[in-house]
Structure 1
């Protein structure tokens, strides 16, 4: 006699085995084999922008790129002191230090202000990404109505132009400190400069030329009102008219200070260290000491053109004239404490 229960159970087992095999095959078809289906290795970085709130102002740090700066250009302290500071930051003395080039966009409510413009491609392909990062941050170059230049070196003014030599910011009024304009835009000064420096004068003149021709260049003197919520802070030494800009909103302050520091690992703990790029090194050192002291005592936010991106943070005073950089923390956009 047939045992129907036995055959029913056997049939159920066969169906379960068949289902398991089919499921395995289907899953294998959906999931690529290891190695064969891995995505291509990404080689690009995330867009170079960072946002923070300063009172009612919106601040966006913009990354233009980086340049390698030889630590041998630093002086004013013994080589062992400089080398030790580099080593403490895991930087090799023998290799050029990767140095960021940053600019800062501030939306005040009344104006959209860009402090410095980056380099374009004047110094190579590692630079010139400001416009792309500006767009990635949600802005168009045509929306910028004010450009404040800390000084006229090409890594700050070169980005005024597109690759075709046109105005990159066609609706912006460009503000340049008078002492810098008098120096860098002067044919007489250019002719008197060493031959290896004369190209810098030409780059500065070229960057400014279309704005000057269009009536969009303002050369300002110390104390002149620029825009509501921002004031110019004289910071000479790196160049004759080097200027920082203090943005103030709801008792919050941000000092965009240009080239006060080129090497964060060395010049914060040792502010007496100058760099060969400084036009007047003793004056640059005195300016750095004064601004570091002021910023630390008043708890100002700082935005530095050559501090590791985003270059925003605060300064803490240490012992024997040393300072420590305290970078801002990545997080949601909100009013900073």
Structure 2
């Protein structure tokens, strides 16, 4: 009898309608935007400030009207293109140096995450000793101030090429009209550091701290600089805005962008940087390549292959 009752109970359960359990809502968001690697005895932390959605088909400049769309399609990318805003923190063992500061969410852009990612990576803004700026476009300097308009790095000295600061902090009446808004923004961002005596321009190629030096690459802006980081046999060169769109400009280095102040000068700087990196086999870090924006180059015909850094813990 017990067997009959058990069988009947099982049959009754199997006959019940199946109730679908609801899945939890999609969480959204992304993991904290920091990536860490060793460079000799140095520690390098890539920090993501967010992304821009860029109409790169309108910004990239090439005589071939189909080139940009074809290259993006080959890489399974669309328009507008999600474009990272990256900065780099270098711990030399003696100094904590930040290269560029992101856009800080200015103008409604989906940025402004750098300080949160800096803290998530294990550091605080008041630990940063030096901030080196590649150039004075807003997506590289706006993060110098916090949301209250105060210095985001209260103990840091800010440094940039004197040609860059001389132009953007100069007389707006003597500048092209298209540059005047950016000049006003640069003055707003730099002034608190100037007032505190913590803005110190340098002149061209300069060793700024042991293991970190500037290299002039004028063209994208009047005083655009890149920064070479070396420890032991390891080397990383931080390119700033020498290039913007990996899917297009590595295969076609001749493609320029509307943001260049002087495309005729910026182009040769990009070619030289590509060639040096491929021959030298060292790492480069790029402000607008998909995060973390660190990798190496390999020559491939008239262009180059981009080899992203391998994730390692």
Q: TM-score, normalising length from structure 2?
A: 0.92
Query: Where does the alignment leave 5 or more consecutive residues of structure 1 unmatched?
Result: 1-9, 25-32, 333-337
The whole-number CA distance in structure 2 between the counterparts of 1:306 and 1:166 is 26
Q: Return the match for 2:21 from 16, 22, 35.
A: 35
Equivalent residue number for residue 30 of structure 1: none
Whether 2:246 is the aligned partner of 1:264: answer: yes
Q: Deviations over 1:110-137 (max 9, x none)?
A: 0011000001121324111100111111
Equivalent residue number for residue 232 of structure 2: 250
Equivalent residue number for residue 39 of structure 2: 54
CA contact (8 A) 1:117 1:156 kept: yes
Q: Return the match for 2:75 from 68, 77, 89.
A: 89
Greater radius of gyration (CA): 1
Q: Return the match for 1:76 from 62, 76, 83.
A: 62
Equivalent residue number for residue 3 of structure 1: none
Whether 2:310 is the aligned partner of 1:329: answer: yes
* SS across alignment from 2:149: coil
> Residue 210 of structure 1: CA displacement?
0.4
Whether 2:104 is the aligned partner of 1:120: answer: yes
Equivalent residue number for residue 182 of structure 1: 166
The whole-number CA distance in structure 1 between the counterparts of 2:46 and 2:206 is 25
> Residue 34 of structure 1: CA displacement?
4.1
The whole-number CA distance in structure 2 between the counterparts of 1:318 and 1:223 is 30
The whole-number CA distance in structure 1 between the counterparts of 2:260 and 2:114 is 24
CA contact (8 A) 1:229 1:248 kept: yes
> Residue 193 of structure 1: CA displacement?
3.6
Q: Return the match for 2:265 from 265, 283, 286.
A: 283
Q: Map 1:230-249 to 2 at 5 A.
A: 230-249=212-231
Equivalent residue number for residue 295 of structure 2: 313
> Residue 237 of structure 1: CA displacement?
0.7
> Residue 314 of structure 1: CA displacement?
0.2
Q: Would you identify which runs of 4 or more consecutive aligned residues in structure 1 move more than 6 Å?
A: none
Give the superposed CA RMSD: 1.9
CA contact (8 A) 1:77 1:272 kept: no
Q: Map 1:128-207 to 2 at 5 A.
A: 128-186=112-170, 188=171, 190-207=172-189
The whole-number CA distance in structure 2 between the counterparts of 1:98 and 1:77 is 24
CA contact (8 A) 2:47 2:114 kept: yes
> Residue 77 of structure 1: CA displacement?
4.0
